[in-house]
C-alpha cells in the first residue's frame, strides 16, 4: 500500500529516542530501526530472533499477549524477564484501526522513559501505520481474483481485460509504478488473505500434469502436498535495482524452516559482535551488527533494504518450498511474463540448492533457458535416458560435476572427492551407457542440458 512502514518506524524511533520495530498482529517483523547503542542488553534473545528470522515463537507471542497488548488502546509497559529471554523491558504501542489491532510497535524501555507528549505523538504515528496495514489487508483480499486473472488469462483480449480490472482495483498510480512478481512454490495450505509488504496475493495452479486437478482456491490441509500450486505476490518497488522489499516478502513466507541455517549463522556473528562491543570494541551495537550480517547477501537499498529477510544464502531443504523473483517492471501489462520468470526462478532454486531459497530471475543462469525448454514436459533425450534412472545416480552426478567444471578433470575429481582415475572410469561408463563422446562439444552440451533439465522435474 501507499506509504513506507520503514519511514514511519524511523519517525517513532526519532520521537522516542529509541530503536523501534514493527510487527503485524501475528508477530511477523515488517520493519525495524538501526541500533546505535553499545549496550549488549539491547540484543536480548527475543529481539535477536525477531530480526534474524522475521518473527517470534508462539511461546514469546503468548507471553507478551498476557500483558493485554491485543486489547490495549495506549502504550503498554512490559517489565524485563531474563528467564524468558527478555533482558530489558519493553514499551508496546498497539497499532489499531477502527478498534481492531493490526500490529505492534516495540521499543526498549529505560528510565525515566519517554515523556507523555512524546508517547502521544508516537501513538499518532502508530495510528497512521494501522490505517496502512488495514488498507493493505483489504486490498490484498480484494485483489486476489483480479491478480490471478492477469497471471492465467493467456494472450489477447482476455489478458487486456484482466489487466484493466487489476489496474482499476489498484488505482491510477499502478500504471506507472515499479513492481516485482514473486513466486513461492510449492504452496500448501489455504491462500493467505494478505501478506505484509505485498500489494496483491493469489494462489495459481501450475503447468504440470496435476495442474488441472488443483483448483486455485481449494483449501489444503497444512503440510499436505498441493501439486501444481504456487503463491504469487505483487510487490511495489522504489527502484529497479532495489529488490529488498521483494526478497523480504519471500523470506518471511519461507520462514525459519527454510532460513534457519542462515539465521543461526547470523545470530552467532551478531552475538560475537555484541560481545566485542561490550568489551570496548569500536562502533556498532549488536542489533546493527545482526542487521548487517543478515543483509550481506543482498544489495544495499536504504530503508527498503533494511527490511529484507535473512535467508538469501541458505540452501533449500530437499522437497521444501523455494521462491523466485522476476525482473522488475513498470506498469501491469507485463505481469504474465514476469510470473513466468518468477516461476522459473523458484523452480531453479528448488532444483539447484546453491541458488536458493530465494532466487532472482537474473541470477539463475542457464536455468532461464532450460526452464522454458522444460516447461511443457520433462526432457527425454534417448541418449541421456539410461543415465537418468535411480540406478545410475552416482554416474549422473559425476557427469554433471565434470561438465560444471568445464571438463577439467582435476577440478571435478576434487569437487567429487574421488581419485582422478576413478573419475576417468566413471566417465568411460557414462560414454558406454549414453553413446556420447565427451570429447565432442555438442555431445557435452546435450548431456549437460539433459542433466540440468532433469533437475527441474526431480
pLDDT tens per residue across span 405-414: 989 999 999 9
- Average pLDDT, integer, range 375-386: 67
**Alpha carbon separation from 58 to 26, 27, 224, 270 (Å, rounded):** 9, 9, 22, 23
Task: Tell me how crowded residue 16 is: count the other CB atoms within 10 A of its CB.
Answer: 23
At 325, which helix (H) or strand (E)?
A: strand 322-325
* pLDDT tens digits for range 161-184: 888 888 888 877 777 889 999 999
Question: Residue 452 in contact with residue 366, Cβ under 8 Å?
Answer: yes
**What are the grid coordinates assigned to 406, written together?**
568445464
pLDDT at 229 over 60: yes
Band of the pLDDT at 305, cuts 50, 70, 90? very low
Residues paired with residue 96 on neighbouring β-strands, in sequence order:
101
Q: Pick the closest to residue 160 from 334, 304, 286, 11 (CA basis).
A: 334
Q: Is the peptide bond before 357 cis (omega within 30 degrees of 0)?
A: yes
The predicted pLDDT at position 209 comes to 31
The CATH class, in words, for 5-136 is: alpha beta
Q: Is the dihedral of CA 325, 269, 304, 250 positive or negative?
A: positive
Provide the 3-class DSSP secondary structure of residue 430: helix
Long-range CB contact pairs, 347-351, < 8 A, 24+: 347/185, 347/322, 347/371, 347/456, 348/324, 348/456, 349/316, 349/322, 349/323, 349/324, 350/185, 350/316, 350/320, 350/321, 350/322, 351/452, 351/455, 351/456, 351/458
Provide the 3-class DSSP secondary structure of residue 399: helix
- Alpha-helical runs (H) found in 54-115: 58-65
pTM over 0.85: no
How far apart (Å, rounded) are the C-alpha atoms in residues 427 and 410? 13
The predicted pLDDT at position 411 comes to 93
How far apart (Å, rounded) are the C-alpha atoms in residues 209 and 189? 20
Domain boundaries, the chain: 5-136, 385-456
Provide the 3-class DSSP secondary structure of residue 356: coil
Residues paired with residue 23 on neighbouring β-strands, in sequence order:
29, 104
Taking the CA atoms of residue 420, residue 425, residue 429 and residue 432 in that order, the dihedral angle to the nearest 10 degrees is 110
Please name the CATH architecture into which domain 385-456 falls.
Orthogonal Bundle (1.10)
How far apart (Å, rounded) are the C-alpha atoms in residues 250 and 310? 10
- Average pLDDT, integer, range 118-147: 85
Residues paired with residue 178 on neighbouring β-strands, in sequence order:
237, 330
How far apart (Å, rounded) are the C-alpha atoms in residues 443 and 439? 8
* pLDDT tens digits for range 28-43: 888 877 655 544 444 5
* Orientation of helix 5-16 relative to helix 116-152, angle to 10°: 170
The predicted pLDDT at position 456 comes to 67
Share of the chain above pLDDT 90, in %: 27
Top mean pLDDT of 95-99, 110-114, 263-267, 384-388 is at 95-99
The predicted pLDDT at position 270 comes to 37
**Higher-confidence position of 29 and 51:** 29
* pLDDT tens digits for range 76-112: 999 888 876 677 888 999 999 988 888 999 998 887 8
Residues paired with residue 31 on neighbouring β-strands, in sequence order:
22
Q: Pick the closest to residue 329 from 311, 342, 348 (CA basis).
A: 342
Amino acid at each position: 500500500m501507499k506509504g513506507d512502514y520503514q519511514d514511519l518506524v524511523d519517525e517513532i524511533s526519532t520521537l522516542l529516542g529509541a530503536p523501534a520495530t514493527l510487527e503485524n498482529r501475528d508477530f511477523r517483523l515488517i520493519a525495524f530501526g538501526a541500533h546505535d547503542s553499545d549496550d549488549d542488553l539491547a540484543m536480548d534473545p527475543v529481539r535477536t530472533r525477531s530480526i534474524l528470522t522475521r518473527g517470534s515463537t508462539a511461546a514469546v507471542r503468548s507471553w507478551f499477549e498476557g500483558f493485554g497488548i491485543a486489547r490495549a488502546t495506549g502504550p503498554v509497559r512490559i517489565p524485563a524477564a531474563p528467564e524468558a529471554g527478555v533482558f530489558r523491558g519493553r514499551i508496546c504501542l498497539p497499532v489499531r484501526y477502527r478498534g481492531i489491532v493490526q500490529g505492534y510497535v516495540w521499543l526498549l524501555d529505560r528510565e525515566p522513559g519517554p515523556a507523555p507528549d512524546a508517547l502521544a505523538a508516537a501513538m499518532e504515528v502508530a495510528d497512521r501505520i494501522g490505517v496502512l496495514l488495514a488498507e493493505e489487508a483489504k486490498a490484498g483480499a480484494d485483489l486476489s481474483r483480479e491478480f490471478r486473472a492477469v497471471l492465467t488469462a493467456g494472450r489477447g483480449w482476455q489478458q487486456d481485460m484482466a489487466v484493466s480490472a487489476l489496474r482499476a482495483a489498484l488505482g491510477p498510480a499502478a500504471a506507472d509504478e515499479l513492481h516485482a512478481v514473486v513466486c513461492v512454490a510449492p504452496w500448501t495450505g489455504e491462500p493467505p488473505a494478505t501478506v505484509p509488504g505485498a500489494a496483491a496475493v493469489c494462489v495459481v495452479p501450475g503447468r504440470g500434469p496435476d495442474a488441472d486437478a488443483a483448483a486455485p482456491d481449494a483449501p489444503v490441509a497444512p503440510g499436505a502436498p498441493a501439486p501444481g500450486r504456487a503463491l504469487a505476490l505483487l510487490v511495489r518497488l522504489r527502484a529497479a535495482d532495489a529488490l529488498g522489499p521483494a526478497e523480504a516478502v519471500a523470506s518471511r513466507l519461507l520462514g525459519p524452516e527454510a532460513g534457519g541455517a542462515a539465521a543461526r549463522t547470523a545470530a552467532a556473528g551478531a552475538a560475537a559482535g555484541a560481545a566485542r562491543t561490550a568489551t570496548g570494541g569500536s562502533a556498532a551495537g549488536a542489533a546493527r551488527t545482526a542487521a548487517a550480517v543478515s543483509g550481506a547477501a543482498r544489495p544495499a537499498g536504504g530503508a527498503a533494504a533494511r527490511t529484507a529477510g535473512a535467508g538469501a544464502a541458505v540452501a533449500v531443504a530437499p522437497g521444501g518450498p523455494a521462491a523466485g523473483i522476476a525482473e522488475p517492471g513498470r506498469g501491469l501489462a507485463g505481469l504474465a511474463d514476469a510470473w513466468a520468470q518468477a516461476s522459473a526462478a523458484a523452480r531453479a532454486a528448488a532444483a539447484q540448492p546453491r541458488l536458493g531459497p530465494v532466487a532472482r530471475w537474473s541470477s539463475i543462469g542457464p536455468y532461464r533457458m532450460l526452464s522454458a525448454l522444460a516447461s511443457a514436459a520433462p526432457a527425454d533425450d534417448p541418449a541421456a535416458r539410461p543415465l537418468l534412472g535411480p540406478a545410475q545416480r552416482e554416474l549422473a552426478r559425476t557427469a554433471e560435476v565434470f561438465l560444471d567444471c568445464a571438463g577439467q578433470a582435476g577440478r571435478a575429481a576434487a569437487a567429487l572427492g574421488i581419485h582422478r582415475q576413478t573419475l576417468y572410469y566413471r566417465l568411460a561408463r557414462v560414454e558406454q551407457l549414453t553413446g556420447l563422446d565427451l570429447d565432442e562439444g555438442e555431445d557435452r552440451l546435450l548431456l549437460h542440458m539433459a542433466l540440468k533439465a532433469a533437475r527441474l522435474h526431480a
